[in-house]
Structure 1
């Protein structure tokens, strides 16, 4: 008879993995859950390296997982932070059109927001100035349900509340899955753990973990670094200010975000990273880079979007060009006002044909659930995502 160390092993100690552990122990009290995180603490990558925005869900296709989970998750995240004393604020945000060509896209966002049940107010230049005196634009919309919080603190609290055993410094190097018996995982230190089911929430490494389990994820994680600056004159910005996004890309453009600590982040600039944890140009991991370059989808992205990518690269190498991009929204900003801030890396799933996976992607396999695409707004939506993944994981457990 097989002896199990736990019922469910969760690989990944970011906010999605910890939310899944939290949901598992609430949906099925008594379920034994172990979380494996290769770093020495929670939320060291995507969760802890973003601008901390609680997204409203206005950008996402009605009926998609992103739309449903972000709208629901935003309200739940605010309530969770309030209940547990985690710094947060519902600030609202402006999405500003600075050119006439952007006005049709802005009006489309108004319609999409209303379809998603999000309160949206249309503004002209005088109303923009009333919210943000230093911001200039032809028109804008105000989204009242957007806010900010400390996602690192949320992840740490979820770890405490879950009742799960959370093992840090626990890197998974081998997975042996036998549908009739369960899953055995070997860690880098040689420890072997056995469970009835496994949940893959490994973020930047989720496709690799899927392959370790013997599954073809059908996607490759292509890392994009988000480069930020901090505003030396934070008084120039009162809240959150975004440009009108290009619907062809999953990135929202260079925006202005006042965080819970009062600092204002400017960015991100989105450029390809030479490592999955490549937080600067100096970090190159040849094996990971080779894997990205070997994926046909990477080259198809490059051919399809080279003009957009060239602009992002130019702003990465030229602070002056980055400042010019910011001036579209904030004309009074100067190059000296921008101080380098820590970067993040987006784990973007890409199909073989070069399609950027637009929605959250969760796949089931025998005894295993893989979360294969969960970039922004996954932190916002983490509580409903966790419940969905937990539901699938519990269904994967063998019946007694």
Structure 2
């Protein structure tokens, strides 16, 4: 039997940073990470945009607002310390008409409350940043937005953890638990404390421990188109004014860590948790459950899901997808877009009673286990301070149980 002080399920960015924080607090503790895939960052953590967000999208009372600014700084510092690639390309948020200027004003207000640098720019100033960016009258510029390679970061975190004594067990999938025993397809693990950072399956594991019963995860597929013509037609990240009523930021241009350009992502409702392409990862049980919730969302039109779903499905049409991107720039070659990049799936938490998508991070736990239920974007940016927050809660729960 494998015996550890802490067992973490999931080797994505959240599991990796929590492991590192646990070893920082308790260097003598034994920590292991269980991962059902062959390596770290096989799902959302290795398939996201790689953008380090600045922290101006989120309302001041949210955990996202609290952690994004600090997380941006922490991840930058980590990349510089370990010689990882970092593209400090910034971001422009552009408006298409008069009605969207009010959206820019709201973002600026949130930035000021959150203490995040966000600068008004007129058309001449915008041209100095990116002459191809197109806006109505003015735009907002975020100088601290940057890009990294998410897989490269997660690999460094794995090696960093291993150097500190964290054990990794790959091809190891959670099956069930009984007391302090965790049963997997690859043996039984005994632990004093379990941390569930399982992403797309976090709700299932939480339910097994008696937590998160009012929630379920609804998967949304994100796809990007790569611009293969050159790396120069877009110089910075260019984003539209988002609909702040849902957690998606809309189709935008991303400058990757190597300076490449990609357009996306989609937020297409998926029908099972690992619905990447074809019937990959198909589960009839998941399909029935998730399709049932999505049908209910469509009928009730909660948070305008009907419009969102129909709009997102249209993005499977490549010409339509590209047309959305053309509205944010003066010139782009429609023939310059190549293939779709590897899709990612967002593990989006749904509150079953209200039928609303949960916008902020959610954790639940007690003196035996802690469950990260909603680590959605910008979780990659927030991961380091968020890990501190999670471990604070773990120590508080364990301390309360011992006192």
Which TM-score applies when normalising by structure 1?
0.93
Q: Does 1:170 align with 2:189?
A: no
Q: Distance in 2 between matches of 1:209 and 1:301?
A: 29
C-alpha contact (below 8 Å) 2:211/2:365 kept by paired residues: no
Q: Does 1:222 align with 2:221?
A: no
2:325 corresponding residue in structure 1: 326
Deviations 1:312-357 (A, max 9, x none): 11122x1111111011112422332222211111110010121111
Aligned partner of 1:31 among 14, 19, 29? 29
Post-superposition shift, 1:150?
Answer: 1.5
Post-superposition shift, 1:92?
Answer: 1.3
Aligned partner of 2:81 among 66, 80, 83? 83
**SS class of match (1:204):** helix
1:337 corresponding residue in structure 2: 336
**SS class of match (1:112):** helix
**SS class of match (1:235):** coil
**SS class of match (1:41):** coil
2:274 corresponding residue in structure 1: 277
**SS class of match (2:373):** strand
Post-superposition shift, 1:74?
Answer: 0.4
1:315 corresponding residue in structure 2: 315
Post-superposition shift, 1:236?
Answer: 0.7
Deviations 1:260-279 (A, max 9, x none): 12211110011011221112
Q: Distance in 2 between matches of 1:45 and 1:355?
A: 24
Deviations 1:126-183 (A, max 9, x none): 2222211112111210011110112212222222222211111110011113xxxxx2
Are residues 80 and 298 of structure 1, via their aligned partners in 2, closer, same or farther at CA, if it must alter by over 3 Å? farther
Aligned residues: 391
* Structure 2 unaligned residues grouped into runs of 5+: none
RMSD of the TM alignment (CA)?
1.8
Aligned partner of 1:268 among 265, 268, 272? 265
* Structure 1 unaligned residues grouped into runs of 5+: 178-182
Post-superposition shift, 1:258?
Answer: 1.0
Q: Distance in 2 between matches of 1:297 and 1:184?
A: 37
Q: Distance in 1 between matches of 2:18 and 2:342?
A: 27
Aligned partner of 2:193 among 186, 191, 197? 197
2:357 corresponding residue in structure 1: 356
Q: Distance in 2 between matches of 1:290 and 1:396?
A: 36
Post-superposition shift, 1:399?
Answer: 3.7
